[in-house]
A and B are shown apart, each in its own frame.
Chain A
Amino acid sequence: MAKRKKRYWFILGILIFLAYVFAAAQPIPKETFLTARWLSSLESGIPVSLDTYSLDRNSGNPDLLIPFQLGGRYGYIADTGEFSINQIQKNYTSISENFWSEYEPFPTVLEINDTRGRKVMEINDPDGYPFFLDDKFFLIGKGQDTVYALDDNGNIKWVYEFPAPLTCIDAAAGFVLAGTLDGTIELIDSDGKQFIPPYEPGGSRLAVILGCAISKDASRLAIISGIDDQRFLLLEKTGDRYRVVYHEFLSGGYRRPVNVFFIENDSRIVFERENGMGIYDIASRSTVKIDLDSRITAYDKSGGGGLFYLITSPEPDRKNLVAIRYPDTIIMEAPFRSVSSFLERRGSRIFIGGDSGIVSLELREK
């Protein structure tokens, strides 16, 4: 009898073991690692091959130009490590994927150029400073309360005078989203008309918009607003209206412009929050907080492949490259010495800048 009982226990044990093996087992995750490709000096402008990487032009895309601002310089660097433009910043600059402009504080003329340095347009006696969003040209008026949309020839398409100074802006799919000092967001359509009535997130002791972002198809708006408590909000478009689908009070908060942007094909939103950052997952309608012990100085604004990169600054002359696997695992930290920093990513290629140069890394898995 006791022998039979023992056998039953033995069989049950084997069954539990098998069930555990089949039900709980997970495949071994792929190992992700970075290989160095090249280093390009800001001073000499000449790329140097790193590791076993070949600087053969076929191994990089010469048409993939990355805008950079680093160590008092700005310009565009190609995927091959060669600079298309690399010049010392003497005045104010506005630079985007496709256009750039360097201008006087009190400009009498604005020259807009492309990534190869060819003049695209010239604007005489401008009423503000240029900026480029959604592959379009804009000016922000000298009082920081007026936006001018320009056509491809530099003529004014529309002017929108906001009811308060602007604290943030973003544009996508022909829409312009702007946040104001008095805590309101406005969404302007491609004709320069109000698309929805001004929206005040409210809910905080002091109203102010600290950051705003619009998804590529303009279906979602992300906002950081208010002081005591600061809030993260997500609005989604339903018909012609936007409604709040998620909000979260953030502990602490900032009184300065705050980074907020969509990543990974608009499936997640990254935002600054005190002592770290938040990543909101649109599918699961949830946020995670990632604790970081120092200020973030640069972000990977694409965030694809399940990974997100950023650079923190533990000390003014020390930086730390951090890789995060979604949802919230820091999988790598790589410290380096630099006062300034720069980070851009195009797919599996990562471009990291320090004071003297830019390094290209390739993200690989095995």
Chain B
Amino acid sequence: MGSKKAVLIAGLFFTVLLNLPALDWPDPQGIILNNFGQNEDGKPALGMSFSSEGEIYASGSGEILFHSGSYASVSSASRLPSPLGVWTAIDHGDGIISVYSRMDEKNQIPVNPVNITTRNVLGYSGLSGWSNSSGFYFFLYDRKERRWINPLMIVNPRPDERPPVIHWVRLRNEEGRVFDPAVTRTLSQGLYTISVSASDTMMAANENPLAPFRIVCSLNGVESGSLNFETYSARDGSLMVYRNGLVPTKEIFTQFPGWEVGTIRFTRGQATLEVIVQDYAGLARNTVFRLQIE
């Protein structure tokens, strides 16, 4: 059953990958502050924030779809304040839209011409909208499927030599009691929710901790929970993420800074709980807990 799910997820992943155009980073030198899927006070990040000082380039060729240059007041046209600050959206075809936001207000680039080629400068890093340091916020949107896409899936890869780190694993029973399986080795039988806190760095330990790409839990070798930070979509007013099927993100992002990866039913006897965390480069780390269930 577990392997079937893994094949299904892998199939889904590669289907998505094969259909998406390759893109470049808007600022290859920009430092990633946080990335797709990161738990931001109980809510997922749907894009990537960069600390940056210079130009912001188009990720690929396309056409300007939308530009909003007003941010300090509620716009008379949109009637909205703008947490995205100064922002530009480019339609790359095949349903892919890239968005460059929180750019510098004083150095805005005119939206003419509307046809953009890779490496055209769209704006400059700065401060506008929901930001407290110089940089920008970048995200990708798939209009065909109406979902946000993890940029790390389709933007040309960045060097990554470090596997993720697992900070903690917690088990919460139906009464709401929380156990650390590294400390409590004996548990009562029943249904438990598994929460995992993990982070990833690419080249050095002192980089900003980022969200991993996938977290998988297995019980006695059988996959019982798999959380993928590939896409987010909203249905009927609720943001959804893939965890053994689409589930509302509020069920996943409850335990800051971790994620609720799934539920496990422990039955009497010995149990081996394994948590595997993988980054987007495929590097993985696991932790195993041998538990006595009474």
Contact = CB atoms under 8 A, between A and B. Distances in A.
A133 B76 CA distance: 12
B114 interface: yes
Interface stretch (B77-85, B212-220, B221-229): B77-85
Contacts of A192: 237
A239 interface: no
A92 B46 contact: no
Interface in A169-199: 169-170, 181-184, 188, 192-194
A168 B80 contact: yes
Given A127-B43, A181-B97, A211 B73 contact: no
A336 to B, nearest CB: 20
A243 interface: no
A169 B79 contact: yes
Interface in B82-96: 82-84, 89, 91
A94 B81 CA distance: 7
B73 A181 contact: no
A219 interface: no
Interface in A132-166: 133, 140-146, 159-166
A311 B89 CA distance: 29
A94 B74 contact: yes
Contacts of A257: 68, 70, 75, 77-78
Contacts of A94: 73-74, 81
The interface size bin for chain A is: 35 or more
Interface stretch (B7-15, B128-136, B192-200, B269-277): B128-136
A74 B76 CA distance: 14
Interface in A46-74: 69, 74
Interface stretch (B58-66, B155-163, B255-263): B58-66
B77 A211 contact: yes
A161 B238 contact: yes
Interface in B113-148: 114, 127-132, 141, 143, 146-147
Contact of A207 (B63, B73, B143, B147): B143
A163 B233 contact: yes
A17 to B, nearest CB: 53
Interface residues of B, number: 49
A279 interface: no
Interface string A30-45: 0000000000000000
Interface string B232-249: 011111110000000000
B48 interface: no
B232 to A, nearest CB: 9
A208 B81 contact: no
Nearest to B236: A194
B67 A181 contact: no
Contacts of B234: 145, 161-163
B76 A165 contact: no
A93 B73 contact: yes
B111 interface: yes
- How would you classify the secondary structure of chain B's contact residues: helix, strand, loop or mixed? loop
Given A105-B129, A129-B83, A164-B146, A255 B97 contact: no
B151 interface: no
A201 interface: no
B100 interface: no
B71 interface: yes
A313 interface: no
B69 interface: yes
Contacts of A211: 77-78
B63 A142 contact: no
Contacts of A206: 63, 65, 91
B32 interface: no
A182 B99 CA distance: 12
A105 B81 contact: no
B72 interface: yes
Given A161-B238, A163-B234, A166-B80, A256 B68 contact: yes
B84 A165 contact: yes
Given A160-B237, A168-B79, A194-B236, A106 B132 contact: yes
A127 to B, nearest CB: 7
B143 A142 contact: no
A33 B156 CA distance: 64
A223 to B, nearest CB: 13
Contacts of B235: 163
Closest 8 CB pairs of A and B: A257-B77, A129-B81, A163-B234, A257-B78, A106-B132, A142-B130, A161-B239, A182-B143
Interface of A: 69, 74, 89, 91-95, 105-106, 125, 127-131, 133, 140-146, 159-170, 181-184, 188, 192-194, 206-208, 210-211, 227, 255-260, 272, 298-299
Given A145-B46, A227-B65, A299-B76, 7 more contacts: A69-B73, A140-B83, A144-B82, A161-B238, A168-B79, A169-B78, A257-B78
25 contacts: A93-B74, A105-B131, A127-B43, A129-B81, A129-B83, A140-B81, A142-B130, A161-B237, A162-B237, A163-B147, A163-B234, A168-B80, A182-B141, A182-B143, A193-B236, A193-B237, A210-B66, A255-B65, A255-B66, A255-B114, A256-B66, A256-B67, A257-B70, A257-B77, A258-B77
